[in-house]
Structures are given as structure tokens and as C-alpha cells.
Amino acid sequence: MTVSKGEAGFRRRGRGRPGFDEDGPDPDSSVSEDAEPDPASVARAIVLRQLTNSAKSRLQLSRKLAERNIPEDVAEAVLDRFQEVRLIDDAEFADMWVRSRSQSRKLAKGSLRRELAEKGIDPETAAAALEQLSDADEEAAARQLVERKLRPGTDLSDGAERDKITRRLVSMLARKGYQPSQAFRIVGEVLDSHRGAPHDV
């Protein structure tokens, strides 16, 4: 059979890449690996990739390994090793989480405590991390949220309108984890400070 010059060149280039033919991987190539990858190596790669993306708690990493069908004993051994060399540190993770979420989302301690629990942080470690957020910091964040929602356009001297705004702002603070009594007090104080000036929410 006569082979064109172009076709011959194409076939030579195909042979120059072991493990591939014109249609993709060649199952008969010596490059293909029949052996199963070492689960511990796979687990280490997964953990490193996760930690490179962002800080994670041990429970988060354990769940990720389970999703990838890493045997539990292998996963625990790998996580133990990462914890020994302090690449996994739940206390440090909790501190970072509280700082970040309290600043960016203005979350109260209640919401932060729930989030930490969901990520597998034990109550004692969570409590230690939450100590960096003082009551004054928490109230200042709540006031900032309320002030941010006040916009020109509404007369706060109108009782019905003020009640509607109060309910809306208190609900907003409650979603952030503030206690109802605390939320009502802060909203009331902020609205009192703006009494007489037209605002809207």
C-alpha cells in the first residue's frame, strides 16, 4: 500500500509520543499502568491540594478524603502526620476563621460558634478562638451593619414606619447571630441617634 508523505509524517509523530495513537491513549502501550495508585500517596496529594487552596480543619479534610474513597485507616494516618508537622492545626484555623468572618461578614459569636462546630472544631477550641472577639467589637460590628442599612428617604418620627424598619433591622442582625434583646437595643439606639433625620432601609 502506498502511504502519502503527509500520512507517514503523521504516523511517525504519533509513534513519537509513547502511549498515544491518532485517537488518544493506547491501551496496549507499555506506558499504561495497571497497578493501583498507593492510597496514602493519593491522600497526601488531596490534602496538600486542599490546603493550598485555603486553610481547612481536620474534619473538612477527612470528609474530602472520604468523598474520594480513601480508606478510613489510611486517611487517619495521613491526617495524623499532617497534624504532627502542624500543616493541620484546628486551633490556628479557628482563630483565622473568627477574625475573617467577624470582619468580612460582621457575624456575632453565636453564628461563628455554629460555623466552627460545623467544621469539626471542638467547643473548647472554639471558645478560645472567640475570645479574640470582645463584646465591644461585636456591638460595633452590629452598629455598622445597622448604619449601613439606613438611607435617606424615610421619616423615623413616623411610629409605624419606625416599627417596620426596626423589625427589618432586628431580623437582619438575628441572621448574623445576634441575640434578639441585643439586636433590639442596638437598633433602637441607632435609630434614636438618627431621629429627626429622614432615612430609609
Would you say residue 32 lies in a domain? no
Residue 195: pLDDT band with limits 50, 70, 90: confident
Tell me the residue range of the domain where 105 lies: 90-130
The C-alpha atoms of residue 105 and residue 145 are separated, in whole angstroms, by 9
Looking at the fold, whether 74 and 106 belong to one and the same domain comes out as no
> Which pLDDT score is estimated for 193?
86
Say how many domains are in the chain: 3
What are the grid coordinates assigned to 72, written together?
A: 478510613
Query: pTM of the predicted model, to two decimals?
Result: 0.73
pLDDT of residue 30: 40
Residues 148, 194, single domain; the answer is: yes
Question: What average pLDDT does this structure show over 28-46?
Answer: 74
Q: Are residues 45 and 80 located together in one domain of the fold? A: yes
How many residues are recorded in the chain?
A: 201
165 and 193 share a domain?
yes
Residue 170 in this model has a pLDDT that exceeds 50: yes
- With respect to residue 65, please indicate whether it lies within any of the assigned structural domains: yes
Can you spell out the DSSP letters for the chain? ----HHHHHHHHHHHTSTTEETTEE-TTSTTS--SPPPHHHHHHHHHHHHHHHS---HHHHHHHHHHTT--HHHHHHHHHHHHHTTSS-HHHHHHHHHHHHHHHS---HHHHHHHHHHTT--HHHHHHHHTTS-HHHHHHHHHHHHHHH-EEEEETTSHHHHHHHHHHHHHHHHHTT--HHHHHHHHHHHHHHTTTSEEE-
